[in-house]
Amino acid sequence: MKHIGIVACSAEGAALCYRSLCREALTSVGKNDHPRITLDSIPMARWLPAFDAGDNAGLARIMLESARLLATAGADFAICPDNSAHVAWKELEAATPIPWLHIARVLGAEAQERGFRRVGVLGTRFTMSGSLYHDALGALGIEALIPQAADAATVDRIIFAELVDGIFNDASRAAYRDVIVRLAERGCDAVALACTEIPLLVGPADSPLPTLDSTRLLAKAALREALA
């Protein structure tokens, strides 16, 4: 089995991805067994100035710092359970010492397999305002739709004020449900939980649309790659 490297940004999202990998391996590999996994966690406080400045080169430097450490530890490939970090994909790909799986492409493949045509995208302001999912889904003939401005601000606020700190409450869950309802009214046939903490708040039973869980989809894709 290939050695998996995880580049962590937020603790909550990275922990969910790691745990999902290990749980998925129970049936794919065996009880108490999974591929070797090395996780490197550079504090999110170091990432945020680059996010806020739109500094993709700075984001790539942080990701490459982790990638080099993981490569030295023996990782065969890397994943990053942080959607927004993938805005620096071009700069990252040019210098990485090991291959990566791209979280938005993984989610897009699932959306295509399930036949979705217009997907609402929930994530940080960096993910929603950028071209990450428009590009990844658009390449597959799937339209990506983001919430209206007020709803997008609500989604982003809850992520940074609550979810990244492990705070999950019913009021925020209800607020997300309302956002998803309005995406459905605009013709979306699925919703991408395109922030790795959102699945900790919103599950399939909480959503009026089918969900595409970027965190667990990335974990499953990493396990498939490790077993290939």
CA distance 202 to 224: 25
* Cα torsion through 131, 137, 141, 147, rounded to 10: -70
**Contact between 21 and 37 (Cβ < 8 Å):** yes
- Quick one: 140 and 123 in the same domain? yes
Digit-by-digit pLDDT tens for the chain (228 residues) are 999 999 999 999 999 999 999 999 999 999 999 999 999 999 999 999 999 999 999 999 999 999 999 999 999 999 999 999 999 999 999 999 999 999 999 999 999 999 999 999 999 999 999 999 999 999 999 999 999 999 999 999 999 999 999 999 999 999 999 999 999 999 999 999 999 999 999 999 999 999 999 999 999 999 999 999
- Quick one: 127 and 162 in the same domain? yes
- Quick one: 110 and 125 in the same domain? yes
- Quick one: 119 and 210 in the same domain? yes
CA distance 65 to 42: 9
The total domain count for the chain is 2
Tokens of 153: 């601000």
- Quick one: 94 and 119 in the same domain? no
CA distance 125 to 52: 10
The per-residue pLDDT for 203 is 95
- In which domain, by residue range, is 25 found? 4-102+217-227
CA-wise closest residue to 55 among 66, 46, 42, 67? 46
Backbone angles phi, psi at 39, to 5 degrees: -115, 130
- Quick one: 63 and 108 in the same domain? no
pTM: 0.96
- Quick one: 210 and 113 in the same domain? yes
The per-residue pLDDT for 110 is 98
